[in-house]
Amino acid sequence: MTTEPTDLADLTATALTAGYAAGAFSPVEATRAVLERAEAAQAATNCFTRIDADEALSAAKESAERWRAGAPAGPVDGVPVTVKDLILTRGTPTLRGSRTVRADGPWEEDAPSVARLRESGAVFLGKTTTPEFGWKGVTDSPRHGVTGNPYAPGRTSGGSSGGSAAAVALGAGPLSLGTDGGGSVRIPASFCGIFALKATYGRVPLYPASPFGTLAHVGPMTRDAADAALMMDVISGADWRDWSQLGPAAGSFRAAVAGEVAGLRVAFSPSLGWDVAVAPEVAAAVRGAVETLAGLGAHVEETDPGIADPVEAFHTLWFSGAARVVQPLDDDRRALLDPGLREICEQGARYSALDYLAAVDTRMALGQAMGRFHRTYDLLVTPTEPITAFEGGVEVPSGSGHTRWTGWTPFTYPFNLTQQPAATVPCGVDGAGLPIGVQLVGARHADALVLRAAHALYEAGTAGIPAPPAP
């Protein structure tokens, strides 16, 4: 073996499986390296709720036997994977960041995405942190505390999949499963300098159904777009428990990423046409990514999609969903909740059925408008976030004037309302060395095209930002 064990923690899933196939190293060696990195990442950022070293090494040994026999179980056999602590994992508590959830279970089911990964031979390392029930765009919870940013642990990792983003960025597994109801894979991926995809709603089956309804998606959080495509080929497999899942994908996502971007019609919208204060360094880095796409042959036009900010409709749907989450709790258990969560639940409980249906009307009109827009443009490109990571442990940046997390993330939640695929790619760092992301949005069902454009940016070097300091 020529590769040092510590180096294995820095490899992509694609590189790991290539190494296994060539006999250069084994899943056991890779898992040991990643577990070492996971312990360091946890000490630095508090990104895990649980690390299952014994279970991971046992699974890695089984994987090594399959690779020696030339019969891997699937495309991610032996690859270390982490799972956000909102997603069911058989035999492991899913605590959802809440002191109201009992740890004693029973925990007898895998969520569909976890089941597909397990069937493919993935090695599960543990569960990653989330805010309580995934309610906000930063990661801190009454049960597990604050998750810090890999580049600056005193700053937020973003959320609500902040633990997953920090883990991937620090080498604690190249693949992670996150959820995204208003930006929750894209926000932390942007803040932590990794890749994430919110696939078209229904492309990745979800069970149990989210109380936030059809806003909530499951998506891959990875080192690069190629690994996300690899993961999508696994987790998009069918599961009867999700009545809203889509039919089979048209083809392999891995095969799709290799395509050209020349000739794509790209709309670049620096602010979605709204009054958004985008930090100058963010604006410059995103514009640089767009110029890269143009240099690769895409036809770029600076234009806005002509939509109004749907934040009030989003709040109606989101806050109502939160109220539904806590509806079974008595007063004593409600007192254990994150105070901000209690506030939005109280607001959500005051909405009427007519308020909710009016929000659905807004959502349908927004979806129709974006459908019309994508008749002209293949991709919409925006900043992922108008800012970089701010101080940890707060919902909004100090002095921002915002009252809720949606105030500082205007580019993400609209595309949960429309159910479109949207990805974030690192495209630079600010003066403090904090990552910046560019968001690529496609028409519904155009997941492969979004991955292709993202992969092109990786191949062109746009995503080549400095790694975070070693934990």
For the stretch 127-169, pLDDT in tens is 999 999 999 999 999 999 999 999 999 999 999 999 999 999 9
Please say if the pLDDT value at position 5 is more than 80. no
Domain range holding 161?
27-459
Each residue of 311-361: pLDDT tens digit? 999 999 999 999 999 999 999 999 999 999 999 999 999 999 999 999 999
Residue 180 forms part of a structural domain: yes
Task: Indicate whether 2 pLDDT > 80.
Answer: no
Does 19 map to a domain?
Answer: no
Question: Which amino acid makes up residue 369?
Answer: A
Span 292-297, mean pLDDT? Answer: 98
Average pLDDT over residues 35-54: 98
Given a contact cutoff of 8 angstroms between Cβ atoms, the answer to whether 314 and 406 are in contact is yes
pLDDT at 471: 86
* pLDDT tens, residue by residue, 64-90: 999 999 999 999 999 999 999 999 999
Gap between the Cα atoms of 228 and 157, Å rounded? 20
Residue 196 resides in a domain: yes
Decide if pLDDT at 433 tops 90: yes
In a domain, 5, yes or no: no
> Is 161 annotated as catalytic?
no
98 in a domain, yes or no?
A: yes
From the list 184, 190, 210, 236, the catalytic residue is 184
- Spell out the residues 6+ positions from residue 335 whose beta carbon is closer than 8 angstroms to its own: none
pLDDT surpasses 50 at 305: yes
pLDDT score, position 4: 46
Averaged over 239-245, what is the pLDDT? 96
Q: Nearest-5° angle of CA 45, CA 147, CA 320?
A: 165
- Which of the residues 26, 160, 164, 210 is marked catalytic? 160
Average pLDDT score, the chain = 97
pLDDT grade for 362, boundaries at 50, 70 and 90: very high
Residue 15 lies in a domain: no
Q: What are phi and psi of 386, to 5 degrees?
A: -80, -10
The Cα 130–Cα 101 span in angstroms is 14
pLDDT band for 1, please (50, 70, 90 cuts). Answer: very low
pTM: 0.97
Tell whether the model's pLDDT for residue 373 goes beyond 80.
yes
Length of the chain: 471
Distances, alpha carbon 102 to alpha carbons 52, 89, 274, in Å: 19, 15, 43
CB 363 within 8 A of CB 417: yes
Whether 467 is covered by a domain: the verdict is no
Q: What is the domain count for the chain?
A: 1
Domain-located, residue 307: yes
Tell me, what's the pLDDT at 340? 98
Q: How confident is the model at residue 267 (pLDDT cuts 50, 70, 90)?
A: very high
Is residue 191 a contact partner of residue 388, using CB atoms and an 8 Å limit? yes
Answer with the residue of higher pLDDT: 105 or 178.
178
Expressed in percent and rounded to 5, the helix, strand and coil fractions of the chain are 40, 15, 45
210 labelled catalytic? no
Taking residues 407-421, report their average pLDDT.
98
What letters, b where the CB count within 10 A reaches 16 and e where it falls short, cover 375-388? eebbbbbbbbbbbb
Residue in 26, 63, 84, 210 annotated catalytic? 84
In whole angstroms, what is the distance from residue 153 CA to residue 357 CA? 42
Q: How far apart are CA 384 and CA 378, in angstroms?
A: 18
Task: Return the percentage of the chain with pLDDT > 70, whole number.
Answer: 99
101-106 long-range contacts, CB within 8 A, separation 24+: 101/143
Task: Give the CATH number, domain containing residue 213.
Answer: 3.90.1300.10
Query: In the annotation, is 160 catalytic?
Result: yes
Percent of the chain surpassing pLDDT 90: 98
